[in-house]
Structure 1
């Protein structure tokens, strides 16, 4: 099957806020497809007016007073058409399409390091295990001065430029010139780019005796496989209860969410069904061979839990398989389908809605917002308005008698109160400013930690003097913090700094382990598990 006719059902929400919108219709698409059989968009454009878009483009290219770029015109027209369909259908240009695929597939071609631009110098802040950078001896804390022949330190080099310099085809080489704090000598490393894999499992570990914890960032191609392996390891360590953290997981591949939900059932259960104006009802069932079909289960959600995550949460809630803890989820119940073009661009088109096993639709209401169409510069931003108010829909009852409602996301069985300090404008400004990272990288990266990873995670707490210094640091950068706010934000900011320090010294898993020490969602989940006869 040609690339242009490939279809891949998925639920996409994670990247919708940052990617372009659009849809291509008319003769240009037909020309690309030729007479190839299979699924395509050709039937959409068979009316007498189907060639208007192409005719207008031809008219402009052949008659307009100035020369025009046909590709830009086409992309603009595509953008405009699909931006009026719904908030989720999107048109991705080749680079954006490739980035989305890499993020969902969990693989890319590169050297396997994370960097941070600190005072116009690229500092290595993370290394992929067994990646090219780690293998040649690059260390966290190294500062990158030059990539091949391009100096990137002290030049205000755009991160997009750095990305292009570092990434490349598998097997190609790149030279990095770095300086290390310990010896202040410039070192040269020749790296051979390779396929780098990034798991969608942020962390999986024993939180308490018999209680396993798994946090999933997205539903990519290998998420179900990685989850299954994590379950095996946790069971070996004595886990008979599980906390599944889907907070901030905004979706991914629909069929992967189905595979993961299957792990929680020992018999054939309806997990979800879909239907749309042009899509017949389709039902998706568990296979009855779940690896975690009998243990106690708590699922954590919040307002950024969406799409594929809501499929999983809805299935286990409807069947009384799990307790849902947290905040009401986002409410995206739209199934999308990918249509790939020969040039690498892609359409993510909404084709159906999905419903939980009981028949609940969790899609929040949305409507077009035409008020911003006067300003051309912002006409593609904020076109759709999502209804954030919860309106109870139809009532459903589970087999155990729990009352559940349709519409507006998944409502938890146990609600964690909102932390007003975390939602405050001041805290959001601090988090969004990157000053937390800058403070840590400027102060905590000069020498190795005096703690082992286990001791750090269990016992390290930011000294109050360091917190006071951070508040002073903010004041010098134009963020004023009153005495009251300083006291209110103490716990939040201490936890943030501790977690960033842990990530720098010990890696990504340490970050989440430190954050979980004082997490109210985790505390509530443990509390919910207590009456379930957890073995001590």
Structure 2
């Protein structure tokens, strides 16, 4: 390692070590009883550099100090504080900023690992990849003449990305085509929207799916609601399932759109962070309609802020499963020009005073992250608070929904279909054989039989009973995959959500959401 890079690594490690030891400057939770003195910090840093020097000189094999520090020392140091403080090396910090900004420079397609290769899941609509003719299922074999064999998805993605306006040559292997296909694609600034779906799921009933909270979420929500208003909005299903959070400011903005002006949305404070309350600045302008918010065990952070605020003020009916319980505030501190430290500085509390954060004391990281989605998990109920109407809600373990909707679990046959990529591969073959899909295409019994024969050819193990019992699921999922392959990802997502049994259950609960809203109105009138 050259001296300049070594100095950078030691400086970064020293800075993070100072943060973790001093605590009073940045952190809300420390592992020492009082702040360490400057001399103790200096001694700790010296011991660390001495240990590193001994390891570099004497370890049996040659070591990569950069990897050892970025992937070993720093993550383990931060994990002694809490599960969510983390260090971002240059690559991960750049990816974090791209996600927060809601755009990146590249070709515009979703890729994923499959059978040891990197394949195109789907090109995003109207992007260079889409216009060039790349298709779902294409195996990325070469980028600028370099073979992609043995590279992981992140390494392939880094080669596809580059400054807008530059060109990249992509070689792909396509099922049913003998020779490798070559595409020359001009990179562009690609929007990375946080709202993946927004449409009328029933006359007058809107559906909005927010995947993450980034810098464009508020603008995207404004546009979605404005489009709904043109035709008349009488109810809304807001889907926050699998949304693990993002920017606090955007979570506050989303909540603001549905609450009365002046209502508290969230507050946070920590050992060295004074209390700050966020209130609805603009408010809903008197526009109210029944609203159901869908959550699950992967809904976290900003998602829980939105769900908690709307629940505490009796503005929406929260349905699904208990949320993750991530209520720690991370402040991102730049470490030089290309790296960053996300350090916990405070805790979130809902308007009723509920702590969102689940306990992480005396549990392993694996248990902490896996518990909320386990079948036996139940959130705490000992911290009881009241909503504006006096309904009981619970703190210290995420957001407990008003109505439980058990998450639909995949059965063994369905898992087999996904693990073998049978649904996607069949859809890709089908659309190649039927390039002009008829309007409002539906998977008929004939298509279902074609899929059955496809499974036999691909040597996917299943029984006739498996196939018969899962016929509805196969039709529903095949329709989504065929629409992705024939049209684009947006069309596929539309099909997925309109056919989702849990979304249908949420729609059935809109009358209950209306009753909640009317009860809230009567309470305000009495006051």
TM above 0.5, yes or no, is yes
Partner of residue 360, structure 1: 354
Partner of residue 499, structure 1: 480
Partner of residue 74, structure 1: 69
Shift of 1:117: 6.8
- How many aligned residue pairs are there? 484
Greater helix fraction, Structure 1 or Structure 2? 2
Instruction: Give the TM-score taking structure 1 as reference length.
Output: 0.79
Please say if 1:86 is aligned against 2:74.
Answer: no
Counterpart of 2:99 in 1: which secondary structure? Answer: helix
The one of 465, 480, 483 aligned to 2:449: 465
Shift of 1:258: 0.2
Q: How far, CA to CA, are the matches of 1:60 and 1:394 in structure 2?
A: 45
Please say if 1:450 is aligned against 2:437.
Answer: yes
Counterpart of 1:436 in 2: which secondary structure? Answer: helix
Contact 2:358 2:396 survives alignment (8 Å) = yes
Q: How far, CA to CA, are the matches of 1:132 and 1:114 in structure 2?
A: 13
Tell me: CA distance 1:157–1:273, structure 2 relative to 1, closer, same or farther (3 Å): closer
Shift of 1:314: 0.7
The one of 115, 122, 127 aligned to 1:126: 122
Counterpart of 2:206 in 1: which secondary structure? Answer: strand
Shift of 1:407: 2.7
* CA RMSD between the two structures: 3.6
Q: Deviations over 1:252-300 (max 9, x none)?
A: 1111100111100242100011122222211100013436841221111
Contact 1:364 1:386 survives alignment (8 Å) = no
The one of 494, 497, 507 aligned to 1:513: 494
The one of 37, 46, 50 aligned to 1:55: 46
Q: How far, CA to CA, are the matches of 1:325 and 1:72 in structure 2?
A: 43
Tell me: CA distance 1:74–1:265, structure 2 relative to 1, closer, same or farther (3 Å): same
Please say if 1:232 is aligned against 2:226.
Answer: yes
Q: How far, CA to CA, are the matches of 2:267 and 2:351 in structure 1?
A: 7
Q: How far, CA to CA, are the matches of 2:91 and 2:35 in structure 1?
A: 26
- Show structure 1 runs of 5+ residues with no match: 1-22, 31-38, 371-379
Partner of residue 239, structure 2: 245
Q: How far, CA to CA, are the matches of 1:121 and 1:27 in structure 2?
A: 39
Please say if 1:199 is aligned against 2:186.
Answer: no
Contact 1:396 1:403 survives alignment (8 Å) = yes
Counterpart of 2:207 in 1: which secondary structure? Answer: strand
Q: How far, CA to CA, are the matches of 1:300 and 1:28 in structure 2?
A: 38
Instruction: Give the TM-score taking structure 2 as reference length.
Output: 0.80
Question: Which deviates more from structure 2 when the two are superposed, residues 135-144 or residues 99-108?
Answer: 135-144
- Show structure 2 runs of 5+ residues with no match: 1-10, 19-24, 28-33, 518-527
Shift of 1:118: 7.1
Q: How far, CA to CA, are the matches of 2:189 and 2:231 in structure 1?
A: 31
The one of 395, 400, 404 aligned to 1:415: 404
Partner of residue 441, structure 1: 428
Please say if 1:524 is aligned against 2:497.
Answer: no
Shift of 1:324: 1.3
